[in-house]
Amino acid sequence: MAMKPVGMLSKGVINRMSKLNFASKAAAAAAATPETTPEQPKCNYKYVGMPAESDGSFAGDLNFGLHTVFFTELFRGFLSCLFSFLLLFNFFKVKVKW
C-alpha cells in the first residue's frame, strides 16, 4: 500500500471539519430567525386573465395547451393571412372588384 503524503491527510480532515462547522452555523441561524413568508420572485408574477396552470391531469394539460398554444397560433395565423393579403393587393396596386 502506498503511503499518502501528510498534506492529503490534513486536507481531508480540515475539509470535513469546515463543512461540519458551516452546517452547524447555518442550522443555528435558521433556528434563530423567525418564519416569514418569502417574497414572490419576479419571474413568478401573474398577470390578469392568465389561465390557471395545469394541475397535472390530462384534462388540465389539454385545457392549458388550448388556452396558450392553440389560441396564440390561431391569432398568428389570422394576422399573417391578413397582412399578406394587404401586402399583395396594396403593394402591387391590384384593383379588386367585389
Residue-wise pLDDT for 52-61, tens only, equals: 676 788 888 8
Exposure of 98 in the CB half-sphere (CA atoms within 13 A) = 0
In this structure, is residue 59 part of a structural domain?
yes
| Residue 91 covered by a domain | yes
Which residue bears the cell 391531469? 57
The reply to whether 10 falls in a domain is no
- The whole domain housing 95 covers 54-98
| pLDDT value of position 72 | 74
Task: Please provide the size of the chain in residues.
Answer: 98
Average pLDDT of span 47-66: 75
Is residue 22 in some structural domain? Answer: no
Q: What is the pTM of this model?
A: 0.26
Banded pLDDT at 42 (limits 50, 70, 90): low
Higher pLDDT pick, 15 / 25: 25
Q: Check pLDDT > 70 for residue 82.
A: yes
Average pLDDT over the chain reads 67
94, part of any domain: yes
**Counted domains in the chain:** 1
Name the DSSP class of 88: H
Percent of the chain with pLDDT over 70: 36
In-domain check, residue 95: yes
- In a domain? residue 90: yes
